[in-house]
Amino acid sequence: MEFQNTLAYARKLDEEDPLRSYRSEFHFPEHNGKPVIYFTGNSLGLQPKRTQKYIDEVMSDWKNMAVEGHFKADKPWWDYHERLAAPLAKIVGAKPEEVSVMNTLTVNLHLLMVSFYRPDKKRFKILCEEKAFPSDQYMLQSQVRFHGFDPEEAVVTVNKREGENFWRTEDIVAKIHEVGDELALVMIGGLNYYNGQVFDMKTITEAGHEVGAMVGWDLAHAAGNITLKLHEWDVDFAAWCSYKYMNSGPGNASGVFINEKYLDRTDIPRFEGWWGTKKETRFLMRPEFEPISTADAWQLSNAPILSVAPYLASLELFEEVGMPALIKKRNKIVAYLEFILKEIDKEVDSSFEIITPEDRGCQLSVFLHGEGRPLFDFLMENGVIPDWREPNVIRLAPAPFYCSYEDMYHFGQLLKKGILEKVS
């Protein structure tokens, strides 16, 4: 596609954008009375305006009905979380019964590892990507230690090649085969938080299964961003958070996927609580646990409604728009941002480099040569909210729900000014 780095052209792209009306569905922080250029939907998505209504509804039901709200509210609280499964299943490519919402992401990954990481003396290793998201590294290390293994030996990483900024699928597959029958679990971030790379989840899942390992994915940066086909790819389990591309609020609830082949298995251990037992008999308060026949069997506590409500509000937006339309805009706006970055780079003589590979979602990671931090600070002072990652990377995620092409143009102009003023 032939782009142009002009305001008129950016505005034309906005006029042609079928999702343009959704920008006004979100609250933007302001800088000097104007909405900021928001690039951190991969960290915390903006607040949808309709979220307030969902929270107010719960607050008002609580005020007016108190405990009766569990069963008599318009959206009764005792099964409120069930409303999220069907729309979420569409987003992650699952059957509704394979999806549940509960807890938070790291908690869920730990809980899922109770079921899907069951090492023995021979098969005990976990394979992940080099420099996985720190919480995942701590989780994997603490899990293997919990089972009596040494993380140095039990956690195997796949490295990028010397001089390359991305992981090669063939290297991951080769490592899986090398570890072979010692491999208990493959556990990778489906979209890398640092370089923005999308992993070939289908091929890697197949390779894990070929050597008899379980395969789970941390989809924090993937859910609501890229096409996922968890059921079709035969993924064993996955979890994601809701506060990035899913716009559900800081630290909010996490979604889980558990492949349907495990839903009725009695030989798979699981930590259990009363919200995982059948609804029909739950309040008989019997000692026997009768698992719900869906991923809800992994639920522990009664759902935190004030946290699930914003997630439901957000899923309503996803239902309206659908992933294909979001992905179409995402591809175009990311391509436009990339074009603008390359134009500016030509004009200011190569002071940065895009390290995100072709297999990408919404994010471009830009490695700044020289002193990067002053440039980042300059952008922040001028109404841009990008994200800084050590040692010298700025992450830019133009979320298709609310970012405009005009934002990309203005960002390019500011970037150029910042480089000329601050770096050279």
Ligand X SMILES: Cc1ncc(COP(=O)(O)O)c(C=O)c1O
- Name the nearest CA neighbour of 335 among 367, 368, 355, 361: 361
108 is in an annotated binding site: no
Give the chain's end-to-end CA distance (angstroms, integer): 32
Residue of the chain from 22, 80, 149, 193 that contacts ligand X (CB under 6 A): 193
6 is in an annotated binding site: no
Residue of the chain from 45, 48, 119, 189 that contacts ligand X (CB under 6 A): 189
Number of Cβ within 10 Å of residue 61's Cβ equals: 20
- What does the alpha-carbon distance between residue 128 and residue 52 come to, in Å, rounded to a whole number? 39
133 is in an annotated binding site: yes
- What does the alpha-carbon distance between residue 43 and residue 396 come to, in Å, rounded to a whole number? 10
Kindly tell me which of 19 and 102 has the beta carbon lying closer to ligand X.
102
Binding part of the chain for ligand X, among 86-94, 151-159, 214-222, 318-326 by CB under 6 A, reads: 214-222
- What does the alpha-carbon distance between residue 71 and residue 73 come to, in Å, rounded to a whole number? 6
Kindly tell me which of 14 and 218 has the beta carbon lying closer to ligand X.
218
- How many CA within 13 A on the CB side of residue 397? 30
Helix or strand or coil: residue 411?
helix
| 104 lies in the binding site for ligand X (CB under 6 A) | yes
Kindly tell me which of 136 and 345 has the beta carbon lying closer to ligand X.
136
Binding part of the chain for ligand X, among 10-18, 99-107, 286-294, 304-312 by CB under 6 A, reads: 99-107
283 is in an annotated binding site: no
| 135 lies in the binding site for ligand X (CB under 6 A) | yes
Q: Tell me the sheet residues that pair with 396.
A: 364
Task: Answer whether 76's CB lies under 8 Å from 209's CB.
Answer: no
| 136 lies in the binding site for ligand X (CB under 6 A) | yes
Binding part of the chain for ligand X, among 12-20, 33-41, 217-225, 369-377 by CB under 6 A, reads: 217-225
Token pair of 216 as six digits: 């789970």
78 is in an annotated binding site: no
120 is in an annotated binding site: no
Specify the DSSP class assigned to residue 227: -
Number of Cβ within 10 Å of residue 212's Cβ equals: 11
Binding part of the chain for ligand X, among 101-109, 144-152, 153-161, 199-207 by CB under 6 A, reads: 101-109
Kindly tell me which of 117 and 193 has the beta carbon lying closer to ligand X.
193
* Cβ at position 105, least distance to ligand X in Å: 4
230-249 positions binding ligand X, by CB under 6 A: 241
136 is in an annotated binding site: yes
Task: Answer whether 408's CB lies under 8 Å from 333's CB.
Answer: yes
- What does the alpha-carbon distance between residue 249 and residue 257 come to, in Å, rounded to a whole number? 21
Kindly tell me which of 92 and 408 has the beta carbon lying closer to ligand X.
92
Which residues, at least 6 apart from 244, have a Cβ–Cβ distance to it below 8 Å? Answer: 41, 42, 43, 44, 45, 220, 221, 223, 224, 225
* Cβ at position 222, least distance to ligand X in Å: 9
| 105 lies in the binding site for ligand X (CB under 6 A) | yes
- How many CA within 13 A on the CB side of residue 39? 27
Query: Max CA-CA distance within the chain?
Result: 72
31 is in an annotated binding site: no
243 is in an annotated binding site: yes
* Cβ at position 141, least distance to ligand X in Å: 14
| 311 lies in the binding site for ligand X (CB under 6 A) | no
| 106 lies in the binding site for ligand X (CB under 6 A) | yes
In order of 22, 91, 201, the CA distances from 242 in angstroms are: 19, 12, 20
* Cβ at position 355, least distance to ligand X in Å: 17
Which residues, at least 6 apart from 2, have a Cβ–Cβ distance to it below 8 Å? Answer: none
Q: Can you say how many angstroms the Cα of residue 338 is from the centroid of all Cα atoms in its chain? A: 22
* Cβ at position 193, least distance to ligand X in Å: 5
Binding part of the chain for ligand X, among 89-97, 130-138, 377-385, 394-402 by CB under 6 A, reads: 130-138
Q: What residue number has its CB nearest to ligand X? A: 106
Residue of the chain from 221, 329, 330, 395 that contacts ligand X (CB under 6 A): 221
Interface with ligand X (CB under 6 A): 104-106, 133, 135-136, 189, 193, 218, 220-221, 241
Binding-site positions for pyridoxal 5'-phosphate: 105-106, 133-136, 218, 221, 243, 274, 302
